[in-house]
Structure 1
Amino acid sequence: MKKVLVVETNTTRYQGTEDPTGLWLGEAAEFVDEMNHAGIGVDFVSPKGGFVPLDPRSMKYTDEAIMRVYESQDFVERALKNTLRPDQINPADYFAIYYTGGHGVMWDFPDNPELQKLAMDIYRNDGYVTSVCHGIAGLLNIKNDQGDYLIDGRNVTGFTTAEEIIAGKKSVVPFLNKAAAEARGAHFEKKRFYSEYAVKDGHLLTGQNPFSVRAVAKLLLNEVK
């Protein structure tokens, strides 16, 4: 059976600061947990391959399920130490691509043509393009065969401006998700801050925040039952 390609960041700091960032652990671990229960395999890719840093703040928001995935040697080796490079991926092996979040993705996801091509190849092959929270950054500049933004005219969601303010990061992020998505013609939807919310628009599935990971995963699993 085909697998899901999970995309993670290599960015270790908020650019222009000394503050650490990286992958939001739960946004990978909870998704992997859902795929494991469904018997679906996952691979991990990052813009540069290799090491993926963890946002230290994400370690404060764990539960038993997240820790179980995090403590597995397979996850440590493949998702945190030795992620694949985009040029090592055959998109034909995957029925979906899933962009994780953590603020780091805002710097290395949007302008990566290799990841964009992988996503479009999967999408073009009747696959799914999915994201959660800041992972929407990976969707912003994907273009279809006509040269139009993939999210143009589509319903999407991601980490909101209100959530950036509450997180204390509005002044250091390079863009705001809602404004960036709308600038590309998307219809940005949201619910109350830090509420679980996921949006399905055809083969485009997006989640608002770290509390929406399982909702995105379940939308995807419902599609492929």
Structure 2
Amino acid sequence: MATEDTAATPEHRVQVDLVSSTPKNVLIVVSNPATSTLGWPVGFWGAELTHPYYELTERGVKVTIASPAGGKVEMDPISDPRDPSKWSADDLITLGFVHTPELMALLENTPALADLAPDDYDAIMVAGGLGPMFTFRGHPELEDTIRSFYESEKPTAVYCHGTAALVDLRLSDGSYLVEGKTVTGFANIEEAFNDAAVGQQVTPWRVEDELRERGANYIQGGLFKAFAVRDGRLITGQQQYSARKVAQLVIEALGV
């Protein structure tokens, strides 16, 4: 029986108009697993990976998921729509991701930043979650990677608690990257909401306070409202609901 020549079959997936026939490559960095000061297992926030992954791949952008130390990475439990708490039960994009074996396999053995070459990528996105509050600040490989992208004049996106990586990051001239920049990140009003919901302080410090201390012009869009801001090639997002807006700004900056 004759078989259909799949190579000659028109592509049935969504078609998008692209500027270049060469796909762009974006590096998304997520936190390695850690334990919070409350004794909770923490990692990256699901939607902060899955929503940008969806936005980027739909535009024909290639995505590499990496972590500072490499190896298996895990979502913050309450960011998984399957979690009994149902905190993220309405996150259908993440629900689709976790039920797709090929995608979940990408989390089993992520490459370490030290093993990657920034020159191979056109932009970087640094996702948040609770894990970054205990793993990102002052991390040498992560700071080196972000600095390399930024000083190479590539789109550099950091969002939610991922902005912990920006707090102590200095450029080659010794200045703080965020000094004088308009940025956002997980807001104090959102930290206060979480603290009240849990009944104790969830994070040991707050990114809004520290970014202001470094001379950033910190702004936010309101309690759990999707909000992202671009200042030149630096793109920041407020929280998990802002991840798609961050990805859209990266796509705009890449011109794809």
TM over 0.5: yes
Cα deviation 1:161-197 (Å, max 9, x = unaligned): 1101111267241211111101111111012110011
Question: How do residues 138-177 of structure 1 correspond to structure 2 at under 5 angstroms?
Answer: 138-168=165-195, 171-177=201-207
Matched pairs, number:
223
1:202, CA displacement in angstroms? 0.3
Name which one, 1 or 2, has greater alpha-carbon Rg. Answer: 2
Q: Distance in 2 between matches of 1:77 and 1:141?
A: 33
Aligned to 1:112: 139
Q: Distance in 2 between matches of 1:72 and 1:123?
A: 33
**Contact 1:132 / 1:207 at 8 angstroms: preserved in 2?**
yes
**Contact 2:31 / 2:132 at 8 angstroms: preserved in 1?**
yes
CA RMSD of aligned residues (A): 1.5
- In structure 2, which of residues 99, 110, 132 is the aligned counterpart of residue 83 of structure 1? 110
Structure 2's unaligned 5+ residue stretches are 1-22, 81-86
- In structure 1, which of residues 195, 209, 212 is the aligned counterpart of residue 239 of structure 2? 209
**Contact 1:2 / 1:93 at 8 angstroms: preserved in 2?**
no
3-state SS, counterpart of residue 77 of structure 1? helix
**Contact 1:4 / 1:40 at 8 angstroms: preserved in 2?**
yes
| Identity over aligned pairs, percent | 32
Runs ≥4 residues deviating over 4 A: none
Cα deviation 1:114-135 (Å, max 9, x = unaligned): 1111111112222011112111
Structure 1's unaligned 5+ residue stretches are none
Q: Distance in 1 between matches of 2:39 and 2:133?
A: 16
- In structure 1, which of residues 36, 53, 68 is the aligned counterpart of residue 96 of structure 2? 68
Aligned to 1:49: 70
With normalisation by structure 2, the TM-score equals 0.82
**Contact 2:34 / 2:135 at 8 angstroms: preserved in 1?**
no
With normalisation by structure 1, the TM-score equals 0.93
